[in-house]
Structure formats: C-alpha cells, structure tokens
Amino acid sequence: MSKYSFLIINLFVILSASSCKRHKIDKKDIVAVDTLDSQMMRAEKPILEIDEASKITAPIIAKIDVKPAEIDFKYLNIKSKVDFSAAGEVQSFPVNIHIKKDSIIWLSIVVGLEGARGIITKDSVIFLDRLHRTYYKYDFASLSKQFNFNINYDLVQSILIGNMPIKKREIDEVSKQESVFLIKQKEGFVQIENVIAEANLKLQKVNASDETGDSKMGIDYANFLNISELIFPQEIRAKIDAKKDGKVLQTSINLQHNKIEVLDQSPGFAFSIPKSYVPK
C-alpha cells in the first residue's frame, strides 16, 4: 500500500484544498420550509418602497434563512470500506474510524494485519506506515499556509460525518431551487457551493473550485440512515480534478460506512510512534 493511498482516507479534504446536547430533526428545525416557501412567493412580487426624496422605487427582497441539520455526538465508531483510484492506481481496503467529537479522529487499516494507523487532532495529523516502519507528521498551520486554505480538524470531521465543511455564516449567499437550498461560500481562493435537502435539511453535495477554474472537487452524500435519532450518510463519494503541467489529474475516493455506532463511552484511541520508525 503506497503512502498516498492510505493518507487519502481522511485527508482528501487536504487534497481538495490543494486542488481547488445532540441534534434531533423535528418540526421546529424544519420550520424554515413552510415559512421560506411563503417568503419566496412574496419575493416573486417585490414590495416597492418609495424614497420620498428621490421618488425612486426599490424592491425589498426577502432573505432566506435556513439552518442545515448537523450531527451531534460524544463518540463514534465507524467501519468503512474505501475505494480509491488515481493515476492508474486502483485500491480497495477497509478502515476502522473512532471519533471523539471535536477532539480526535483515530483510524486503522487492517488487511489481515494492520497496515497503517493514523490519528488526527486539533493540531496535527500523524500516520504510521507499519509495512515500511515509517511515519508521516503534518500540522494544520503548515498545510493551511501551503495550500492557502484554512485546513483544520473541524473540516476533516465534518466531511466524514456529513456536516457542512464550513459552517453557514451570515455573509453566505442562500437561495432555493426546487427541493434544495444552495449555500454559496468563499474561503480564500476557493468558491464553495453546498446543496441542502429541503426535506430534512441535510447536506447532499459540496462543490468547490478555485478562482482559476483549474481545480475542482465534488463530494456527494447518499443513502442516509437514521441512527440513534441522528441522520448519517452511509456513502461519501469524492471526485477531485487538479491541473498540473497542462494535464488534469483525476482522483476518486468513495467511502462506504458499513457500520456506524453512536457511543457514550470511548471506543479507544491507542496511538504511539515506535522508536524504530523513521520519519518521512
């Protein structure tokens, strides 16, 4: 297994950047739907406001306010299958993921024997390559500077569980199209569009591209499951196109969550770097 293939599991967020109290869903969270529909109808016929001084009329456009549903938890235990392809390399392998909310993401790749183990914290990303007795260590500050994009723990965690990678802000542009809401954001040189389902307010798709148009990324979330009154995507499909030396390099990563457990007790986060391992 190459360095690139096992780093990709939790770090396709980084590749994307370089290329380009528990929450329940109930009526009060979806309030926005009926109210928003009526607001949109009113917006189709703008109310005219008269400026007495200039006698110029200006339309008042109703603002759309939507609150995307997010998954809240204490601990998660996830068993997934990863399908990866890039530059002619195609691999599939299982990965076990333990998450302590807003704190630690632990992962292990086991095919007979454990081939790799990684841990992501608020400060850093460390992966052990057990096959070659080496390890890789990165810090988010350096990665963010390198890619000119704010890469952090929250971004990785959100993408893994289906929350918006960048939380909705007042400055974001919100619109409604058919059965979805679109939330457009700008982070550094990257343009981001989030597609939110009207029915359950869950994130369905993220599209991101840099200002040059040379690089783009799309993430699709599908097959939503209700687990412990929380709505999780079982499938996460990411496609990344990055232009390099006049050629477009395509990367595809699919995660299939085969088991998701919401826990109150820690599933374990054992991690240490053996003294015999060499940094890379």
- Top pLDDT among 242 and 90 is at 90
Q: What is the mean pLDDT of residues 179-190?
A: 91
Which residues lie below 8 Å from residue 39, measured CB to CB, with a gap of 6+? 62, 63, 64
Q: How far apart are CA 175 and CA 64, in angstroms?
A: 7
Domain 3-29+66-264 indexed as CATH 2.50.20.10: yes
pTM of the model: 0.77
- Rounded to the nearest angstrom, the gap between the alpha carbon of residue 56 and the centroid of all alpha carbons in its chain is 45
The two most distant CA atoms of the chain are separated, in Å, by 80
Number of H helices, E strands in the chain: 4, 16
Position 119, amino acid:
I
Residue 16: the pLDDT is 40
- Top pLDDT among 267 and 4 is at 267
High-pLDDT (> 70) share of the chain, %: 76
Residue 274: the pLDDT is 95
Question: pLDDT, tens digit, for every residue of 147-177?
Answer: 666 778 998 899 899 999 899 999 999 999 9
Which residues lie below 8 Å from residue 75, measured CB to CB, with a gap of 6+? 98, 99, 100, 101, 262, 263, 264, 265, 266, 267
Q: How far apart are CA 189 and CA 209, in angstroms?
A: 9
Return the minimum-mean-pLDDT range out of 31-45, 101-115, 225-239.
31-45
Task: Answer whether residue 189 shows pLDDT above 50.
Answer: yes
The phi and psi torsions of 277 (rounded to 5 degrees) equal -80, 140
Residue 147: the pLDDT is 63
Task: Answer whether residue 78 shows pLDDT above 60.
Answer: yes
Position 11, amino acid:
L
Residue 55: the pLDDT is 52
Q: What is the mean pLDDT of residues 113-139?
A: 90
Q: What is the mean pLDDT of residues 59-70?
A: 77
DSSP 175: E
Question: Locate tokens 């704190």: which residue?
Answer: 103
Q: What is the mean pLDDT of residues 12-40?
A: 37
* pLDDT tier for residue 87 given thresholds of 50, 70 and 90: confident
Domain ranges of the chain: 3-29+66-264
Return the minimum-mean-pLDDT range out of 47-51, 112-116, 247-251.
47-51
Closest-CA residue to 158 (of 199, 113, 192): 192
CB-CB contact of 13 with 156 (8 Å):
yes
* pLDDT tier for residue 270 given thresholds of 50, 70 and 90: very high
Highest mean pLDDT range out of 9-13, 210-214, 229-233? 229-233
Closest-CA residue to 204 (of 190, 217, 223): 223
∠ Cα 115 119 125 (to 5°): 110
For 259, other C-beta atoms within 10 Å of its C-beta total: 11
- Top pLDDT among 212 and 208 is at 208
Question: Locate tokens 């396709």: which residue?
Answer: 12
Q: How far apart are CA 212 and CA 242, in angstroms?
A: 11
CB-CB contact of 204 with 197 (8 Å):
yes
